[in-house]
Structure 1
Amino acid sequence: MIAQTTPTGEAIARAVRDGFEVGDIARCALLRRGFNHVYGLEFEDGRRLVARLSAHRPRGEPNVEYEAALLAHLKRAGVGVAASLPARDGSAALSMALPEGPRPLMLFEHLEGDPPADSLPDIEATGRCLAEMHDAAASYDGPPSRYRLELPFLLDNPVRLLHTAPTMDDALRADYAAAAQRLSERIAALPGLERVHCHGDCHGSNNFMTDGPGGRRIASFFDFDDAGPGFLAFELAVYLWAMHPRKPGKLLEGDELDRWRAYLKGYRSVRKLEDADFEAIALFVSVRQLWLFGEYAGRLDVWGTQSIPTAWLRKQVELLGAWLDLRTPAGPADGCRTMLA
């Protein structure tokens, strides 16, 4: 059996040419291979598009109908997104036959701009535009999502998958189960957490920045593969998780703390963030970490067992133990609230 093939740019160009009304393709090249395969296409008339070949993931089938409809809704509302293009038959994706089985191929607009990097105005704009996206998505009434970014999906299933990894032992299984249980109990004790239509992977590298009217910085978002309705606290925690030090007891400080405060400031300039949601952000940093471990465990046939070696998994237990005691870092208007280990 085949775990996962990597089609050439030429093969993707042929599939796009046959399945979409796009015109003459001049070049197609693989941009990156991660959870999915992403390709850049250039056309004879100078246009550029992006193709994404969905991979088999432990969660199940790709969420293409919801993703395409949500993107169309957001674009109509004026939110900066890389919307998808329908296939010739009007479907959200075409099915590409491969040795491991059919995989959906979607086509997206190409976004201009640069990553926000460490620019505080760009990071503030990222938070502001994410909040505008959440407001616009509140009126979405299209196809339902296959997945909800709630604890069964974000925590329970990933830990179950992690337990099946051959690099786990009984002691590690007990440690990870205890961490997941503690997280579940802590989150359950925070009633009324807000739900939104989440991007799901807004870690600062899935948006590009451009100048809007008057030079105001605008964030436009792409890669909605992990989108779905779910916890606002998880959505905001993804950015904090991406920058937080991976050393037990190490706090967010310096430039990283400034970036987090700029992100919060931008978000709060558009939407109110309730105390319970703010408090829950730190808890969802650990949830995000465990979700990622589950993704790795579910793709060992592709990435190999050395992606989660036993010694590394043991070190992560110590990190998670410290992270379970974190508090969400304070924004400029939050007084003395800090992140504690």
Structure 2
Amino acid sequence: MFDFDPLYSTPQVEAVEQFISKHYPLAGPISCRLLQRGLNDVYLVVGGNGEQYVFRLSHRRARGPADVKTETAFLAHLSQSGVPVAASIPTREGAMFVQGYAPEGARQGVLFRAIDGRKPSAMDAGDASANGRTLALMHNAAETFSPDEVLYRLDLEHLLHRPLARIRDSGIVEDAEVRSDLENIAARTAKAIEAFADLTWTHCHGDCHGFNARINDAGEAIFFDFDDGGRGYLAYDLSVFLWAQVSFGRKSTAMWDSFVEGYRAVRPITPDDFEAALRFVIVRHIWLMGEYASRAQEWGSETVGWIAREAHFLRTWETEQFVDRLF
């Protein structure tokens, strides 16, 4: 019984160590260190033999529970298909994920072996190309992936309309004119995307912004963090990398060119998918705004207040790309 119902609790590191030792056959004693607290809690785990792992404890999010069943099944399929990814490690019972209980409710955990390699460089064309190649390999392998069930469908309802509603309901954007601007930009974007006759659907990574990877000695990009994945638009999966090059004041379109070149070296991109990716930059940005807006009660309105200033970026992108096309 709690006087205040928690939105989000952070477990003691010792409790996480005990939880992992109970469920996974790692050489002990193990030690944990919290690397990141946010959309998920991520821990570095070191076994008694010095081997390193990463343990991700999923957060409860506005979308609903983590789809770890599909995620880990997809990772296993990709690994078996020769795609460089960080696959999950089975528990003592052979399961690919576990579930624990915090004051706020159930949370899902997945253990991964730590990836060898360096972090990608934001301005390295080779790293951008490597990300494109691995994403193309992933999309090729996805054609033979048939999961039993998928919790999330990365359609416009999931990526655009619900996030926009979260922004509106949060009260963070107080200016009625800005709110109207966001609604109009979203409506125009949805209409433009729906006008494409035959956009490709695939199983998406969902967050391929260029840094959810490690570059190994062979120059390959090894992917991780498939938490936002699901069946959806291939154009959206492409657009996330472009969005990372042009949002929040960045102007690194040369890296986008390298990314696309790497992708096309493995798999073609249809003209419609390529054109739609430019539109999906707006969808991605509104999706992120909605994710942060949904955490206003947890992180505080000051922390997520940047959302109210993002209409300018969306207006500018829409005007430059679809009125005076830069690409």
Which TM bucket (shorter chain)?
over 0.9
Q: Which residue of 1 aligns with 2:115?
A: 111
Q: 1:39 aligns with which of 39, 43, 62?
A: 43
CA distance in 1, matches of 2:140, 2:307: 38
Count of matched residue pairs: 320
- Say whether the 8 Å CA contact 1:175–1:317 is kept in structure 2: yes
| Residue-by-residue CA offset, 1:65-124 (whole Å, 9 max, x unaligned) | 000100000001111111112233333322212111121111112111012202212221
Relative distance call for 1:143 and 1:86 in structure 2 (3 A) is: farther
Residue 189 (structure 1) shift: 1.2
| Residue-by-residue CA offset, 1:167-219 (whole Å, 9 max, x unaligned) | 2334343222212111111111112111121111011110001123xxxx111
The one-letter amino acid of 1:38's match is: V
CA distance in 2, matches of 1:167, 1:160: 12
1:203 has 2:190 as partner: no
CA distance in 2, matches of 1:122, 1:178: 36
Name segments (4+ residues, structure 1) moved above 4 Å.
none
Residue 243 (structure 1) shift: 1.6
The one-letter amino acid of 1:292's match is: L
CA distance in 1, matches of 2:233, 2:293: 24
Scaled by the length of structure 2, the TM-score of the pair is: 0.93
1:151 has 2:129 as partner: no
Relative distance call for 1:25 and 1:221 in structure 2 (3 A) is: farther
What are the equivalent positions in structure 2 for 1:184-195 lying under 5 Å apart?
Answer: 184-195=190-201
| Residue-by-residue CA offset, 1:252-276 (whole Å, 9 max, x unaligned) | 4xxx232111111000111111111
What are the equivalent positions in structure 2 for 1:159-308 lying under 5 Å apart?
Answer: 159-169=164-174, 170-212=176-218, 217-246=219-248, 252=251, 256-308=252-304
| Residue-by-residue CA offset, 1:218-240 (whole Å, 9 max, x unaligned) | 11001110111111111111111
Mark the runs of 5 or more structure 2 residues left unpaired by the alignment.
none
CA distance in 2, matches of 1:313, 1:300: 11
Mark the runs of 5 or more structure 1 residues left unpaired by the alignment.
329-336
Q: Which residue of 2 aligns with 1:86?
A: 90
| Residue-by-residue CA offset, 1:15-48 (whole Å, 9 max, x unaligned) | 0111222231332100111210000111111211
Q: CA RMSD in A?
A: 1.8
Q: Which residue of 1 aligns with 2:137?
A: 132
CA distance in 1, matches of 2:215, 2:173: 41
CA distance in 2, matches of 1:32, 1:245: 22
Q: Which residue of 1 aligns with 2:326?
A: 339
CA distance in 2, matches of 1:277, 1:26: 46
Q: Which residue of 2 aligns with 1:319?
A: 313
CA distance in 1, matches of 2:294, 2:309: 20
CA distance in 2, matches of 1:58, 1:40: 26
- Say whether the 8 Å CA contact 1:193–1:276 is kept in structure 2: yes
Identity of aligned residues (%): 38
CA distance in 1, matches of 2:314, 2:120: 28
SS at match of 2:215: strand
SS at match of 1:162: helix
Q: Which residue of 2 aligns with 1:333?
A: none
- Say whether the 8 Å CA contact 2:235–2:273 is kept in structure 1: yes
SS at match of 1:102: strand
Residue 288 (structure 1) shift: 0.5
Residue 299 (structure 1) shift: 1.4
Residue 282 (structure 1) shift: 1.2
Q: Which residue of 1 aligns with 2:79?
A: 75
What are the equivalent positions in structure 2 for 1:6-45 lying under 5 Å apart?
Answer: 6-45=10-49
- Say whether the 8 Å CA contact 2:242–2:253 is kept in structure 1: no
Relative distance call for 1:246 and 1:339 in structure 2 (3 A) is: farther
